Amino acid sequence: MPDYNTMSKRGRILVAMSGGVDSSVAAVMLHEQGYEVIGLTMKTWDYATSGASGKETGCCSLDSINDARTLAVNYGFPHYILDIRDEFGDYVIDNFVDEYLAGRTPNPCVLCNTHIKWEALLKRANKLDCEFIATGHYANIRQQDSGRYVISKGFDENKDQSYVLWGVSQENLARTQFPLGSFAKSDIRQMALDMGQEELAKKSESYEICFVPDNDYRAFLKHKVEDLEEKVAGGNFILSNGMVVGQHKGYPFYTIGQRKGLGIAFGEPMFVIRILPESNTVVLGRADELERREAMVRNINLVKYENINEPMENVITKIRYKDAGMLSTIVQEKDKMRVVFDHSVSAIAPGQSAVFYEGNDLLGGGFLC
């Protein structure tokens, strides 16, 4: 077996390997570029006790962990499994439950990426004497003249993942590489085929939350919070004028913009437009009542600039992952950002991420208030 300590031309790099096609190809790509690659797969969640139907989903299932290890063995580089279930549960899962109980719609993948995975990766990178870490995200990174590290959108618009990276700190970005940023997803699948990894190339992607069995967040909340249904059942559906129009199953089981599954019929489509946890009330309204011209954003992390002291125009603001974004003006107000959209946007959901772009560059982001 080759001795990578003597062979490495470009330094040692720790690669986060989920077992999927993206991170697997990223690891092999870096290996072939002359880096001394060490693979690391994080175990975030205990599938055996989660109440799942047996079908494991998400980025960190047991099958995925085994797939990552097999690939590393085949290419002759070390692979480790890091158990971060405690940190993940304390931070990501507790936050997920707390946010729904506060009437908001959480963004667990952003929290996991920015607060758990990067910290865990860098901590382990330091122990293994790795200069850099790498992930399979479709995004680009560069250092500008100011010294700041800037994330920009990946080449493949359909796969761009810069949206979930707004919370990564400058300190962490300084040691991060995104090998897939300049490739399309189809290129990566072809590379996997060229590597002889046919199964890997055909592997389907999961867009589900890894710790929510069968993508049923309501069942997950009931499983995690004792007697939740009894505590929240029987609240009122009201219209924006205060008129009571029915009863619901409990405010945590609804999200802003929801139309289906209300269990109540009207002569026209009605949507959830507000959630009031204090009174266990869900406000319904027409589509036009979901529209807003402004939003406030909290827990701001700025990436491209250290501060945005003046109102900044022509900023593209995305309020959900698959959102094309809307032209806006952003104004920093103490620890929050006010976003004034050029045109109305629909279904601004508190708890989701708002992410700001200057062209293809990520300015920063935060959580919608």
- H/E segment holding residue 64: helix 62-75
**Amino acid identity for residue 130 in this structure:** C
Q: How far apart are CA 354 and CA 346, in angstroms?
A: 13
Question: Does residue 56 contact residue 49 with C-beta atoms inside 8 Å?
Answer: no
> Which pair of structure tokens corresponds to residue 17?
């390997």
Helix (H, G, I), strand (E, B) or coil at 128: coil
Q: Which residues contact 214 (CB under 8 A, 6 or more apart)?
A: 52, 53, 55
> Which pair of structure tokens corresponds to residue 71?
């690939």
Beta strand segments in the chain, E = 12-16, 36-43, 79-83, 132-134, 139-143, 149-153, 176-177, 236-239, 244-247, 271-276, 281-285, 291-302, 312-318, 326-333, 336-346, 353-358, 361-368
- From the centroid of its chain, how far is CA 128? 27
Burial call 323-342: b when 16+ CB within 10 Å, e when fewer: bebbebbbebeeeebbbebe
**How many C-beta atoms lie closer than 10 Å to residue 301's C-beta?**
14
Q: How far apart are CA 68 and CA 328, in angstroms?
A: 42
For tokens 């070390």, name the residue: 78
Question: Catalytic: 60?
Answer: no
Question: Catalytic: 112?
Answer: yes
Q: How far apart are CA 24 and CA 47, in angstroms?
A: 22
> Which pair of structure tokens corresponds to residue 193?
């085929």
Parallel/antiparallel/unpaired status of strands 312-318 and 281-285: unpaired
Of residues 59, 60, 109, 112, which has the active-site annotation? 112
- List the catalytic residues: 112, 210
